[in-house]
Chain A
Amino acid sequence: MSSPLSTPGGRKRGRTTNPSTPSSEGPTSPPFQRRRGQDSSTGDLMPMPTSPPTDVLSPAAPLDNSLFSSPRPSVPPNEVDMSSPLMYGTPSSRVEGTPRSGVRGTPARQRPDLGSVSKAPQVDLQSEPPSADGAVASEANAGQRLVIWGTDVNVGTCKEKFQRFLQRFIDPSSSEDENTGLDLNEPLYMQKLEEISVVGDPVLNVNCLHVQSFDAELYRQLICYPQEVIPTFDMAVNELFFERFPDSILEYQIQVRPYNALKTRNMRNLNPEDIDQLITISGMVIRTSQLIPEMQEAFFQCQVCAFSTRVEVDRGRIAEPAVCRHCNTTHSLALVHNRSLFSDKQMIKIQESPDDMPAGQTPHTTVVYAHNDLVDKVQPGDRINITGVYRAVPMRANPRQSNVKSVYKTHIDVIHFRKTDEKRLHGLDDAEQKLFTEERVQTLKELAAKPDVYERLASALAPSIYEHEDIKKGILLQLFGGTRKDFSQTGRGNFRADVNILLCGDPGTSKSQLLQYVFNLVPRGQYTSGKGSSAVGLTAYVMKDPETRQLVLQTGALVLSDNGICCIDEFDKMSDSTRSVLHEVMEQQTLSIAKAGIICQLNARTSVLAAANPIESQWNPKKTTIENIQLPHTLLSRFDLIFLMLDPQDEAYDRRLAHHLVSLYYQSEEQLEEEFLDMAMLRDYIAYARTYINPKLSEEASQALIEAYVDMRKIGSGRGMVSAYPRQLESLIRLAEAHSKVRFSEKVETIDVEEAKRLHREALKQSATDPRTGFVDISILTTGMSATARKRREEVAQALKKVIQAKGKTPAMKYHTLLEDLRRQSETAITKEMFDEALRALSDEDYLTVTGKTVRLLA
């Protein structure tokens, strides 16, 4: 039973509302702060033959009835139930449908996360001069000036307010994924209650922001006195629920789980003032303990007369009864373990997420206790938002020493977990919506309104790298990305919205530096080097957890950079098997894994920014891109933009470059700040645009895109080659969308398309120029061979055919003689490679076969 002795004595409050109140009630408790969560509140799922009368089954009940000295007309029906000797059975054994299955009928489940509140004494405010607290004073019901000791919470008022909130709160603009399927114009939480009655999961998650917008005062109380207010909420919701669904049967009473308390705090900002308040912090789980059974109530049985008694665990101690009350034998009572009550508990350690940390410091960790059904809800590595009550307990005192360490241990009793990366795996939105202050948004918008914002941002990107304006612009568009489109209904799946870029060029043209910069700029960037990464490191691997012997899926760089950018240096040095995994990632944006019994498809919606060196270490301008970097064209065609970073070697350029470099070395930090936007600003700008701007194609823009595409096709068609494929059109669309994001425009307009076209052309001009003809030829990228080269191969094959036919009926020929013959006949020089290619082409036509050094005709 709840012992009225213990008080919330050791509670440290920043603010005590009733300074002169009940000293008589307070200090009777032992000198250490009460350990919340260990005081047992009676009642659990377990039916106990000797369990006390019903009204104490629920920790809420004593509050309801015994402690209230004033009549509370708001909840009359309970008075009736009070006397009935109810509910000794399990919930299922209860007679269904009886009028008794209501609030009283359903056993309350204790909330170790809150400690037991039933013990909080209440104070009559009326005996004091009116306090400054408007909420209590303004209460119409003058009889209800009772508040819970140490707080300004009036149970009745609070309950009423919360019920009103549940009944009336409507959030038409709600976009939370949890609310899908609910009618947004109906009271939100009533629908949720209905859901509970159907599903039978007695947990009601309440968004604190909703409470705040509905009743700020209630919200304040919730934040400041969660320990008192949440049980009150529980009471309120249960009354409401069983009033509305009198017949429904729940395993135990509904528990309210608030989340999203005001601001999601950084772990670093927690300070002593937050103790005992409701907080929400974000972090990453690094360790979970095993399940700890925590004794709530000890069961003793007399060895002599079998009389049994129960003792509550008080502050982690059990006071063993010395004398049996029944037979008066001393020291005859023995603890019976399996009849004692235990609750589940788990220690979880969370660590600050790396994004929240100031540079040069190590991340902080916080201990979190999860109770009952929240145990084992999270795994190490999960990124979560935790709502809970922040606690501080003094270090355990040595019983033999009067000195104690003057340090508190802090932890959080968790009330609600919310995984932040869960959505990332399933949903579409960027889960971590960065919150921007009003002023920041204002500055960002001002910046966006400037006509030269595109150029500004591009020059702010990696200012230490000189020129390469177009490349920077390309990377800038990559950072913004296109609009994500979902065609999964029509079976085409998601369209890639991310822009992939390949930089190739001479060594020492600061490609790596550019990659490093991008990696440092974006929040979810990964940097790998082709040399050092294997396919496994890029994708995911399965490993056995050394502790649990469980198979665990460890994700690699590509999965980790989902919604970010994966920078891959030395792309050309990657092994073929590694590169092959990129095929799926770069177009389908998923990653399929089938190993060690784990078959899954992970999202890898990442933009790839790769850098490759030419195969001969120096770029050979006489060769095509493919020949220079020796990458499979299937992979190359998946890059939207391929830039060459070459040393231009002209004097004016040199001069500007020299100036740039020298100024890098002598300009002071401030001078540079003036010139460029700083990294933080750029980062915010990109984050804002990525989150809030989703441009759509306008009519003119789509026309312009069509024209652009048709033009691109036309360029080639004159010379018998195709210079654009649908993939290029998609690239154009993505680039245009990204460009309109740069302008914070919700509509893709013609200027965006123009810029996309220009950039695409620039990139093409650099990478897809056929060195033999000087024309832009997209087929270099798509088939690995320029159209002219293919044409010439055709010609050689035909010439060879003629040579063979001229020989008449010879079924077999020597390889060398044939080559000699062909060389004699042809005007142009025929290399051995060309000859081989021609032979291969003819054998493909089933005209001949080559075996060793002889060529046989088939026809």
Chain B
Amino acid sequence: MFAASQNTPNSGWAAKAVAFFKDRLKEKDAHTWVPSLNDVPLHYLKPNSLVKFRCFIQDMFDPEFYMGTYEAVDPSTKAKVLRCGKYKDVTECGVDFNSRSTMTAERHTFYCVPIPGESPWVKEISSSGQARVVPSTSYAPTRQKRSYEEDDDDMDTDTQPQKQRDRFHAKSMHGQPHGNGDCKRREKEAPSSQAASASHLDLNFPLPGEKGPSCLLKVYEEWDGFKLNEAVEVFGILSVSPALSALADEDASSSLLDPAGGMETAEEQRVHSPPASLVPRLHMLHAKPLPHNNPLLPAAGLEDNNSAFLSSTLREMAAVRAELLAYFTHVLLGDALAAEYLILHLVSNVYTRRDVLPLGKFTLNLSGCPAVASFTERFYQIIQQLVPSSYYLGMTLQNMNQMRLVPKKDYVANRLLSGALQLATNTSLFLDESQLEQGQLDTTGVRNVTALGNLISWQKVDYDFSYHQMEFPCNINVLIASEGRSLLPSDCQIHLQSQVAPPDLEAYLGGIQVHPQASQLNKFRMYLSVARQLDYSIADEVTKSVEDDFVDMRKDDPQSISAEDLHRMLVVARLLSLSLGQTSLSRDSWLRAKHVEMLRRSRMEQNKCVNGNEP
């Protein structure tokens, strides 16, 4: 259907096609019948078919000019045919470069990776609801052992089959996607993608140890609307033409002979045109930004046409919250106050910025974590079970001194080398400071710690562009687990008070791991995501009473509360209301926030006395 529409290169088709796809994708089940690049292995997908990809824009390459329309000579009939180059990587045979009808157009390329730190459960759930692409019957696994090099070889040596294949290929692009040539191609693709998954090519994932397809997204319109580090769901046409990789090889090898042609360095070549079997090209038809990547929630935002869903969840919210609180209390060694703060932290979200000040962030420093039995790691696993994306960063000296946290521009390869702080909105970053031991931080270490500090205080990361730095705002929930007070700044510190006697600790911690049932987990997951998305307002009369409260408190003891404390209390009140499913601040919530804060502060005082070395 798509190919048919593309065959007629009249001017209006592009807009029509995009509109057509947009319409189709609006339908309720639209997202289920399009196979997703996230779940389906690349070699099961048909080339030049419609796929979707839930991804994260890691880098933006330079714009490229391509032949929007061009004239080609049909090899068999020798007739000139007008062709369209949109949504394609490779032109068809016999391009007439002198033709007057050649039109140059512009498109942008984004390098996309799967959302960094996406929790396993998200992948699982979203893939279960998907249309499985059944591998076609002609897929012959017997040839799997053929290496990529071999493939290359025969492309280079025997030109005749290559040509033939291209013709097949060309045909298949023209309306017979199920054609013979297609299968043939796919069987060639499959082994290479597997062989190369462990290859030398650095796919530039922000987080170490990530896997998954990355792709080069070609954007044809409204590219200005996309931002770096944005999570989007893209619907587009998959292109894995082997010609792309062949061309790349050719270019790289010939660059020595022809200095004028090969101005790009070998690295740059490798990065910007990696083999299509590893990094497929995706020609975008339609994309929508993802406000969240929780598959349990309706994909569209909460605002439109989901009022039924919203109201039902809102009704349940208080109940779910109570359950979650109980669960967290259990996890946090029976400390209900800490559990309360943990919930607040997990629903926090930078909702706006006032000039440089991000509002709504709530970095929590959970101090007093028991140093035994890898409590922090278990704790992280529990959080990972609940939030859609998260990352555990053990702040060991080695990590701090060696890891690349801040993305850096690599001018040789002309790309942005990713760092662990290049994360999508609302990712939970778990900093385990209990891993930190005494020792020396070197320059990188200091820089990394500064970057973390900046991230927490201003919610921004200064990317290193070597000649200058560039500031990218972010929205990351940072949770610091430490034994004493953290060396990093935080919005709020709470000292864990274990209700469990130390001898039982080991056994107790062993029991933490037992997860609640799947249905309950899903409820929690949904709850946290929804609470974060709610709107919030403060009524005038509440404002008044808040102001009065503040003045009163100051009157009693000016030292007791500062402007910063008020800031925090306002955030706590906001999060508290949201966590209860209330979209505006009530007097009760305010009092409760005040109460909670008071408890926390008194605990801090108490704690100060306990170990005097606290600053």
Contact = CB atoms under 8 A, between A and B. Distances in A.
Do the two chains bind?
Answer: yes
B152 interface: no
A405 B90 contact: yes
Interface stretch (A28-36, A133-141, A210-218, A805-813): A28-36
Interface in B366-420: 409, 411-412, 414, 416
Nearest to B416: A362
A649 B355 contact: no
Interface stretch (A154-162, A173-181, A226-234, A395-403): A395-403
Contacts of A349: 411, 414
Contacts of A661: 563, 566-567, 570
Interface stretch (B38-46, B206-214, B465-473): B465-473
Contact of B259 (A32, A292, A517): A292
A516 B562 contact: no
A410 B65 contact: yes
Given A392-B104, A516-B356, A403 B260 contact: no
A719 interface: no
A462 interface: yes
B450 interface: yes
A654 B558 CA distance: 10
Contact of A272 (B105, B246, B450): B105
Nearest to B100: A16
A405 B89 contact: yes
Interface string B236-274: 000000011011001100100011110100000000000
Interface residues on B, range: 35 or more
B159 interface: yes
Contact of B93 (A284, A347, A403, A665): A403
Given A365-B62, A400-B156, A654-B550, A666 B90 contact: no
A293 to B, nearest CB: 8
B97 interface: yes
Nearest to B159: A400
A574 to B, nearest CB: 15
A406 B97 contact: no
A358 interface: yes
Contacts of A359: 227, 473
B357 A513 contact: yes
Interface in B179-228: 224, 226-228
A550 interface: no
A586 B509 CA distance: 59
Interface string B535-576: 001100001001100110011001000111011001100100
Q: Which of A466, A649, A657 has the most CB of B within 10 A?
A: A657
B543 A664 contact: no
Contacts of A294: 259-260
B543 A10 contact: no
A316 B258 contact: yes
A462 B354 CA distance: 9
B359 A664 contact: yes
Q: Which of B93, B106, B247 has the most CB of A within 10 A?
A: B247
Given A29-B98, A31-B96, A402-B75, A396 B261 contact: yes
Contacts of A16: 100
B65 A392 contact: yes
A651 B446 CA distance: 42
Contacts of A132: none
B467 A286 contact: yes
B606 interface: no
A655 B547 contact: yes
A380 B409 CA distance: 14
A347 B91 contact: no
Contact of A679 (B90, B163, B355, B472): B355
Interface in A360-402: 360-367, 380-381, 392, 394-396, 398, 400-402
Contacts of B250: 396, 398
A275 B104 contact: yes
Interface string A647-670: 101010011011101111110010
A287 B228 CA distance: 23
A662 B102 contact: no
B292 to A, nearest CB: 19
A407 interface: yes
Interface in A389-439: 392, 394-396, 398, 400-408, 410-411
Contact of B260 (A38, A287, A508): A38
Contacts of A664: 354, 359
A672 interface: yes
B362 interface: no
Contacts of B92: 402-403
B283 to A, nearest CB: 11
Interface residues on A, range: 35 or more
Nearest to A672: B354
Contact of A508 (B95, B97, B259, B563): B563
Interface in B433-458: 446, 450, 457-458
Interface in B76-116: 85, 88-98, 100, 102, 104-106
A396 B243 contact: no
Contacts of B467: 284, 286, 380-381
B161 to A, nearest CB: 12
A32 B247 CA distance: 17
A779 to B, nearest CB: 32
Contacts of B412: 287
A9 interface: yes
A287 B409 CA distance: 12
B528 to A, nearest CB: 22
A520 interface: yes
Contacts of A532: 446, 450
Given A360-B472, A400-B156, A466-B563, A666 B354 contact: no
Interface in A630-684: 647, 649, 651, 654-655, 657-659, 661-666, 669, 672, 679
A361 B60 contact: yes
Contacts of B354: 463-464, 664, 672
Contacts of A647: 558, 562
Interface string B40-70: 0000000000000000000110111111001
Q: Which of B230, B357, B538 has the most CB of A within 10 A?
A: B357
Contacts of A512: 457
A27 B63 contact: no
Contacts of B98: 9-10, 26-27, 29, 31, 33
A529 to B, nearest CB: 8
Contacts of A456: none
B162 interface: yes
Given A516-B458, A532-B450, A666 B537 contact: yes
Closest 4 CB pairs of A and B: A360-B227, A402-B93, A666-B538, A658-B550
6 contacts: A364-B62, A401-B166, A466-B563, A532-B450, A659-B547, A662-B538
Interface of A: 9-10, 12, 16, 26-27, 29, 31-33, 35, 37-38, 270-272, 275, 284, 286-287, 289, 292, 294, 316, 345, 347, 349, 351, 354, 357-367, 380-381, 392, 394-396, 398, 400-408, 410-411, 462-464, 466, 508-510, 512-513, 516-517, 520, 529, 532, 647, 649, 651, 654-655, 657-659, 661-666, 669, 672, 679
Interface of B: 59-60, 62-67, 70, 75, 85, 88-98, 100, 102, 104-106, 156, 159, 162-163, 166, 224, 226-230, 243-244, 246-247, 250-251, 254, 258-261, 263, 352, 354-357, 359, 409, 411-412, 414, 416, 446, 450, 457-458, 465-468, 470-473, 537-538, 543, 546-547, 550-551, 554-555, 558, 562-564, 566-567, 570-571, 574
